[in-house]
Structure formats: structure tokens, C-alpha cells
Amino acid sequence: MVESLSIVIPAFNEEANISGVLREIKSVCAENGYIYEIILVDDGSADKTFEITKSFAPIKIIRFRRNFGQTSAIDAGIKHAQHPLIVTMDGDGQNDARDIPNLIHYLRAHDLDVVSGWRKKRMDPLSKRIISRVANFLKGFFIQDNIHDSGCSLKVYKKECFEQVSLYGEMHRFIPAILKIKGFQIGETTVNHRPRKSGKTKYNWRRTLKGFIDMVSVWFWNKYAVRPLHLLGGLGLFSLMCGFFAFLYSLYLYY
């Protein structure tokens, strides 16, 4: 069976890394006989990322006028995908394109809709690893998706997963959780992770805060989306009881 892939890559100021990422993807796809398209979303880069990538072939480029963030870039790329399987990965060279065949094999072998990469041996600075561990602990408390490393961008999806899904904020970290809520089958397998060779990480405390807020949003949606009366009915009953006791107190004061 020949696999058909849409490979979505968000990139923001990755002029030193993006050409190597694209060459590696092209090599892996050729070796495995994939039918494929590369969709690069230039997320408002201020460097030469766009100039470098526009001469590459085959490639489809979506260029944002300003930086909207990784989630918006992934969402735009997914919406332009044409093939039955969608692969997402970073443009900084830390994800290894040679893991793509393993992700696809794992998805087919276990009859899954989503396979998330698990960077079991992360090559990030200590501060980033600590933040990630805290985030994963909180995610395990709020969202039980059984994914060790939902922050890993290297994932493979069946295209139908996104027929009624739009992403926002820092929601790309919780795509497996969202899809699990919708009834899709998710899994994960270990992938290689490499140190960043050039450029600066785009993560900061603002993205961490936004990620936490989106985590709570996913938890809230999971808990009440299909049974809103559990929330609204409880609030209504509480308000009714407050009103009843206020009425009794008013009668007491009157008499």
C-alpha cells in the first residue's frame, strides 16, 4: 500500500534550519515511495525563511502577514492538506523525519486515528524540560489522554480527524485529547529528538500561561460539552435555593 501524506510544518524565523528539514523530509518520502505534499506555514517570519523555502520543490507555502502562533499555523496547514494522512512536525530540525515511517506503521498496525511522538530522551535545556514536566503533570490531572508528551509536534493523523475541528490559542498541544473526546483512537510511540543547532526557542512564560488556560478549556469542554445541564442545572438549582432562603428570611423580617 502506497501512503499519501500531507506534511505540515509551521516555521517562524527558521532560516538556518528549514532547508535541512525540507531536504530530510524529501529524502525520507523518496526512500519510502510516498505520495506527498509539503505544506510550510511561514508564521510571519522576519528573516529569510520565506525566501529560502520558496525555491524548494515540491512545496506549498502559506505565508502569514504577522506572527499568529504555532497553533494557528498548524490549523492553516491542516485545512489546506489534500492527502489521507497528515503529518505535523517542527521546522527547527529537532524532530527527525526518519521517524515518520515508524509513526505511520504504528498507526496502521494498531488501527489508530492519531499517533503522537514521545520524545523520551529530550534534548532541550533543563528549564524547558522542567516546565514540560510540570505541564504534563497538570495535564494528567485535568485531561486523561494517556499521552506522555502531548507537546511533541511530530504526529500523524487521519485527515477525517479534523473535519469539524478548528484550533486556537496553544491548543495544538492538546489535539490528541480533543480528538479522544470526539471518539477517535489515539496512541503514541517513541521518537528521536535532537538538540536545536541554530536559532532561538519560541517558548516563553506567555505561551506556558496560554497553554494552561487552554488546558482548562479542554477539561471544561470534556466535562460539560455533551451534558451542559450538569453545569447549568447545578447553577440553576443553587440559585433557586438561594432565592428560596432569601424569601424565607424576608418573611421572618416582615413578621
What is the helix (H) or strand (E) element at residue 116, kind and residue range? strand 114-118
> What residue segments make up the domains of the chain, in order of their start?
4-224, 228-255
- Which own/partner pairs from 141-144 qualify as long-range (CB within 8 Å, at least 24 positions apart)? 142/215, 142/216, 142/218, 142/219, 143/174, 143/177, 143/215, 143/218, 143/219, 143/222
Backbone torsion region of residue 26, taken as left when φ is above 0, otherwise alpha when ψ lies between -120 and 50, otherwise beta: alpha
Peptide bond into 228 cis (omega under 30): no
Global pTM exceeds 0.85: no
User: Is the model's pLDDT at 231 over the cut of 50?
Assistant: no
Task: Quote the CATH superfamily of domain 4-224.
Answer: Spore Coat Polysaccharide Biosynthesis Protein SpsA; Chain A (3.90.550.10)
Query: Which pLDDT value is given to residue 196?
Result: 83
Question: Is the model more confident about 102 or about 131?
Answer: 102
* Residue 103, C-beta contacts closer than 8 angstroms, at least 6 positions apart: 87, 115, 117, 154, 155, 156, 189, 191
Mean pLDDT of the chain, nearest integer: 83
Query: Which pLDDT value is given to residue 94?
Result: 93
DSSP 8-state assignment for residue 193: B
Average pLDDT score over residue span 105-122:
94
Our CA dihedral for 165, 115, 92, 204, rounded to 10 degrees, sits at 60
Query: Which pLDDT value is given to residue 137?
Result: 61
User: Is the model's pLDDT at 151 over the cut of 50?
Assistant: yes
User: Is the model's pLDDT at 93 over the cut of 60?
Assistant: yes
* Residue 203, C-beta contacts closer than 8 angstroms, at least 6 positions apart: 128, 131
